[in-house]
Each structure stands twice: as C-alpha cells, then as structure tokens.
Amino acid sequence: MAIDMSQFYQVFFEEAAEHLASIENLLVSMDVDAPDAEDLNALFRAAHSIKGSSGTFGFNDMTEVTHVMETLLDMVRKHEKPLTSDIIDACLEAGDVLRNLLAAHMGEDQADADAATAVSQRLQALCEAGSADAGNASAGAEESVPAGGNRFRIRFRPDAASRQRPETLDNLVEELGRLGQVQRFDRDSDDGEGLCCIVIESTHALTAFEGVVDFVAESGSVVVEPLADADGETEEEAYGFFEPASADSGAEEEAYGFFGDEPVAPASAVDDEVVSDDGSYGLFAAPAVAPSGADDEAPDGSYGLFAKAAATTAVSAAAPAAAVEASAKSEQVAPVKNAGAAPKKPAAARASGDSSIRVSVEKVDQMINLVGELVITQAMLTQSAEGLDPVLYERLMNGLVQLERNTRDLQESVMSIRMLPISVVFSRFPRVVRDVSKKLGKQVELKTIGEGTELDKGLIERISDPLTHLIRNSLDHGIESPEKRRAAGKSEIGTITLKAYHQSGNIVIEVGDDGAGLNRDKILSKARERGLDASDTMSDAEVWQLIFEPGFSTADQVTDVSGRGVGMDVVKRNIASMGGRVDIDSMGGVGTRMTVRLPLTLAILDGMSVGVGAETYIIPLNYVVESLQPGPNMMRSVSGVDSLIQVRGEYLPVISLREYFGVDGACADWRKGIMVILEADGTKIALFVDQLIGQHQVVIKSLEANYRRVGGISGATIMGDGRVALILDAAALVGQSRKTLAVAA
C-alpha cells in the first residue's frame, strides 16, 4: 500500500529547518583551531539527518548537497582532515543553498540548481583537496605513534545477526578502538568466506580482543594473532601495504613493483567494500602516482601509501601532472564509495536531546483560552462559596483554595508555552556579522545581551528580518574600516551590541554600534536632494527619522550589503505593522543605536490595577514610580485650575484618569483619591485615580484584533472574575501631558 508521504512533509520541513539552523550555529561558533569534538559530531549528525530524511521524501537535490557535506564533515570529525575556515565557509554556503532548496520544496522560493551544483562541487573539491594532506597527516601520525604495544591481526566470521546489520561491525571497531588503535578493518574479504580482518595496535593482551569480537563472530571463527612488524607483514600479505610505516624509500620501490606484479595485492583491493572502508580514511588521493605504470589498478590501488611515496621520493617526474588527472579520476570514485561508509554511524549518538515535542500553535492557543475559562470558573466558585459557613463546609473550602492554587499554576505554565527566548532570533546574527564583515573587510565583534528575554513566538518570526537589516546597516554604515578606526583612536575591532529587555509591556531590542554615528549634514543634504522636507532647525531625532524615508541612502557607493536605499523604510514599515516603532540615537564618532520597541502581544505584564468609578484599569508596573495620597497643600494651581502637584520638590502635571476616559461618577476631589506617579522617557506625571486595587500579572490581549486602537490604551486583559480590564498606555499618557503643557506654555 502506498503511503502518502506528503502528509509528513511539514514535519520534514520543520525538522530540516531546525537542523540547518543548528548547523549554522555550530559552524559559526566553531573554533577553527581547536574544534570541539562534540560539536563536530553534532554537525555531522545534523547534516546526516537532513540527508536521511530528504532522501526518504525524495528531495534528491537536498540529498545530494547534504551528502557531500556529510562526507566532508565526517572526515573532519574523524580528524582525517583538519578543520579550516574554508570548510566552514563552504558548509555555511551549503547551508544557504539547502535553505533555498527547502524553501523551494515548500513552494516559497525558486530552487537555484546552479548554486546547488556549485556548492556540491566546492565541498567535493574540499573533500578531495584535503585528502592528500590527510593521507600524509594520518600516515605521519601513525608513524609517530610510539611503538607502544604490539600489533595484532584479528580474523573472524561475523555471525548471522551482525551480517545483516552492518552497524554492529562499526560498533565493534569502535569498541576495539578503546583497547588500541585500529589500523585496518576489512569486512567480507573477497575470499567468499565472509571473513573480516582487523589489524590493531594495542598494549592489551591478545585475549582481550577475543572477548570483544566474540559478541559478533560465529563461535570458533575468531583468530587473533600477533603481527611481528610492519615489513614482514607487507611482504606477507596485501593488506600490509596500507601500512605507511613501511614507507622508507626502499620499500617504496619494492611496493611499486609489488603492485605491478604481485597478483595478491590487487586481489584484496579489488573488493568494493574494502575500498569503501579505506576511502573513508581519506587516502584517496593516492592514485596520484599510480598512473605511472599501473593504469588498470589505479582505482584499486588508491591507497595512501603511494601518494606519500611520490611526495617524498619523486619517483616519477610526471607525478605532479599525473596527480591532477588522477585526483580528477578519483573524484568520481570517492563520493560513491564513501557513500557506503558514511551513513552507517547515525542513530547511536542521536538519542540525546530529543526532549521536545512539536505542537501546533493553535492547540496551544486553544489551551490558553481554556485555562482562562477555567480560571474564571474557579473565581466564580470561590465567589459563590463566600457566603457559606467555613466551619460547616471546611472540606469544600479547602478544596477551593487548592483549586485556586492549581489553576494559577496551570495558567502560568500554559502561558509560558508560547513564549520563546529571543536567543532564537539572536542566534542567527553571528553568522550575518561574520559574513558581512568579512565581505566588507571590517573586524566586528557581536555582543548579545538579554538573550533570555521572552517574547511571543509570532513576534519572533516576524522580528528577525527587520533586525537582520538593522545589523547589516550597522555593519555597512556604522562600523568604520579598521584604518579609519585606528585613525580615530578606536580599537580596530568594532562592536555591535544586541540587547533585548522588557520595558512596560514592550520588548525593547537595541542594535548598537560603536561606529562613526550618523552624519547630520549629509542626511540633510541628501534629503534636500531627494526633495524631502528638511530644514536645519529639525531636531536630531527628526533628522534621523529621515533615513527611514523610502529610497533614502547616504552611502556613497552602492555595495552588496546595503546602500541601495531599499530597506530602512521596509524595516520601519514591518515594525510598525507589529505595532512597534524604531528610534535612533546617534552621536558622531561614538556610535549609533537603533531601538526597536515592540508590544508583546501575548506577554505577561506586571500591572497595578486601579479603580476609577466602576472601571478597573491596569497600569504597567514598570512605569509606576510611586503612589501617594495627596495632602491639601501639595496641589498647586496654574491659571486657577489645580493641575500641578508638588512631590518631593518637583512639580508634576496631573492627569485625571476619570476625565481622560470620561468615566461616569464623581470623585473629583483630589484629596480623596490616589496619585500614581508615572515616569516615561524621563518625564514624570501624576495620574489621579480613585483607588488602588492591587498588583497582578496580566496577559496582554489585543484590542485591535476585533476592535481598533484606542488612544491611551495599549491593550486589554481579562481579570480573575472574567471581566475585561483595559491596560493604560503609560507612555502615551505621559506624552499627552507634555503636549498639553506645551500648548499651555
């Protein structure tokens, strides 16, 4: 029965995207000189997972790219190839290509097949290029291994179970690796007997291996024998010429001839399996020399030994030229063979880390609403039980108290599901900074602060593009070139600071740089050029806002990165569509800071509830400085109307919430209410309310979803009793008072 795979596509898309993200993170954070083995493994696993699942779903273009990438990573993690920044770049590029392919499969983008081919070739070239070195390196390494132990050859016939599951043999090799250095591993040698052969160098006693091998071998088939030394072995049997230890120049000559005439050597090598295993040791570049004589055997005899031989003794003058040809030849061979070897390691290591599950956002939202209902029901029950005699109904009362506690806990944990730390977004910026600064020839360090700041998943998805743009902008226009920085007496390494924090129902994300700052005159002259309304009397803040005008750019040159003047207006529009805004602070020579303020649609807000008439309003707590009951002589009047209050030597304008919102009912007497002192953007006001009710953590609900924006209100929330309370927009209230004062003045 055919299974419709498409139903699983979504899962694949999500998973692949996650793997790509983690690949990128790992690559960017990788220390080229001293890569963490665990990271390398994680990298490999991620590439492997993408390859596996894309293959399953028939997305072959992705499989091809990941395949080569995986091969390369596999070499790196096995230390057959040193990690270079070239490899990292190539893998990053591959990641981008994969992302494009993924988007294409999701129907969001056009697949760029050329890019895919190009990156595959680049990776392939890296696989190849390194292998000669790797061959040398590993040969060297083995040579340099102190003669710490004896060499053994283990031969055995795998039992039926392990014949069916090749990975058991890999496990075996791994296991043996703990006892000593596995130098050789052939499975199913071509003698038709299915014998496996392992050569190991170890300080352990012979019997130690038997115990390990017994698990996978047919009983009685295990033969462990000590090997005398490398030379003897070489002569004795074909496997031996793999041993680079024997590569003194005499041996090479010998080996050469030996290659040509000795039928034994090719015989053992012909076997595909054997080759594939060897291939994964990175010794493929070997054919370099082979063409000089043994044309036919070349692919089979492609063992590292000869590459080294060529290098050290220059046996054949034609070697360098031949090497190119040969490696081209082996290019076709290597990937295919490696394919067999590489994917066998997968699952074992994957087990860890799968501690999350995938749930659709709708389900979570539904849950949040249901819990909200539950809380209201609970409040209702508590209210109805209030009239009961606590002595008679003790158990009921206890139950209700417990219910209340449990519902609160439940509500809290459900709320937290939708929230994600902003590190999800921040984590992609090291890559951006790295790429762009490289391209621009600048040295830039990225600092992130407050990655743990949580915000709603929906916002996370939408904030990433605008932020990327701001960062690119900072990199291109903000940070100066190292020379200029030096001239200005600054460190050559520029710093871009990403900072996130909560401020009164907003999430604030700052993108700051310590670059040159915005150039006021330049912006003004550009603005005039473009026919924008710009005058010299404009405040700095107003001038900075000009850069958000469509098509505005002060860049003298259009670069790859920015300068086309497309973008900042889009950034502003995007952020505005989320109900946020962008502010710019800049100081010449010191730097520029872009501050993005976004409302938290689903954020939990610490609020103070105040009563005015019959209505309850929530004031975001972080705007509140203090609350006080005004004394009679604190009120000061301006032009006959009480409108200022003197608090600790300061005169603050008073806004009556009752008047502001036109609430019915009278409590106009200043002395009977409460003054709540609010501060926003450095300005303080006193808000006059009837009473303080309490402090709550409230969930911000959007009024705009079904209604519209209301002046002075930033959102709404649902109180414990199920009623809606409006959340004050404290910043707007403060701004309002500033405006009225200005008018009065």
Partner 1 sequence: MQLGSEAVAIDDSHRELEQEFLTFTLGPEEYAIDILKVQEIRGYDTVTAIANAPKFIKGVINLRGTIVPIVDLRIKFGIGNVEYTPFTVVIILNLAERVVGVVVDSVSDVIGMTPEQIRPAPNFSSQVGASFIRGLGTVDERMLIVVDIERLMLAPEMALIDEATA
| Cβ atoms within 10 Å of 267's Cβ, excluding its own | 14
Q: Is 648 in the site for partner 1 (CB under 8 A)?
A: no
Among 129, 710, 732, 741, binds partner 1 (CB under 8 A): 710
Q: Is 170 in the site for partner 1 (CB under 8 A)?
A: no
- Residues 601-630 touching partner 1, rule: CB under 8 A, are 615
Stretch that binds partner 1, among 336-344, 345-353, 416-424, 654-662 (CB under 8 A): 654-662
Q: Is 368 in the site for partner 1 (CB under 8 A)?
A: yes
For the chain, the helix, strand and coil percentages under 3-state DSSP, each to the nearest 5: 50, 20, 30
Q: Is 660 in the site for partner 1 (CB under 8 A)?
A: yes
CB nearer to partner 1: pick between 229 and 659: 659
Structure tokens at 330: 């082996």
650-656: strand order across its sheet: 624-628, 674-680, 683-689, 650-656, 641-647, 635-638
Mark 498-529 as b/e (b = at least 16 C-beta within 10 Å).
bbbebebbbbbbbbbbbbbbbebeebbebbee
Stretch that binds partner 1, among 129-137, 396-404, 495-503, 719-727 (CB under 8 A): 719-727
Q: Is 706 in the site for partner 1 (CB under 8 A)?
A: yes
Q: How far is the CB of 709 from partner 1 (least distance, A)?
A: 6
Q: Is 724 in the site for partner 1 (CB under 8 A)?
A: yes
Q: How far is the CB of 550 from partner 1 (least distance, A)?
A: 18
Instruction: Report the alpha-carbon angle 166-168-174, nearest 5.
Output: 115
CB nearer to partner 1: pick between 386 and 721: 721
Q: Cα separation of 539 and 585, whole Å?
A: 12
Among 369, 383, 491, 691, binds partner 1 (CB under 8 A): 369
Q: Cα separation of 453 and 507, whole Å?
A: 8
Residues in Cβ contact with 381 at an 8 Å cutoff, skipping those fewer than 6 apart: 400, 403
CB nearer to partner 1: pick between 129 and 713: 713
Q: How far is the CB of 710 from partner 1 (least distance, A)?
A: 6
Q: Cα separation of 101 and 359, whole Å?
A: 25
DSSP letter, residue 476 = I
Q: Is 381 in the site for partner 1 (CB under 8 A)?
A: no
Q: Is 581 in the site for partner 1 (CB under 8 A)?
A: no
Q: Is 373 in the site for partner 1 (CB under 8 A)?
A: yes
Q: Is 679 in the site for partner 1 (CB under 8 A)?
A: no
Q: How far is the CB of 582 from partner 1 (least distance, A)?
A: 18
Mark 551-572 as b/e (b = at least 16 C-beta within 10 Å).
ebbbeeeeeebbbebebbeebb
Helices (H) and strands (E) counted in the chain, each on its own, are 25, 22
Instruction: Write the interaction track for partner 1 spanning residues 412-441; mark x where CB under 8 A is met and - where it is not.
Output: ------------------------------
CB nearer to partner 1: pick between 628 and 703: 703
Q: Cα separation of 475 and 494, whole Å?
A: 9
Stretch that binds partner 1, among 115-123, 356-364, 450-458, 709-717 (CB under 8 A): 709-717
DSSP line for 711-729: TTEEEEEE-TTS-EEEEE-
Amino acid at 178: R
Reported residue count of the chain is 745
Q: Is 722 in the site for partner 1 (CB under 8 A)?
A: yes
Among 106, 419, 713, 732, binds partner 1 (CB under 8 A): 713
Residues that bind partner 1 (CB under 8 A): 368-370, 372-373, 376, 615, 660-663, 701-713, 716, 718, 722-726
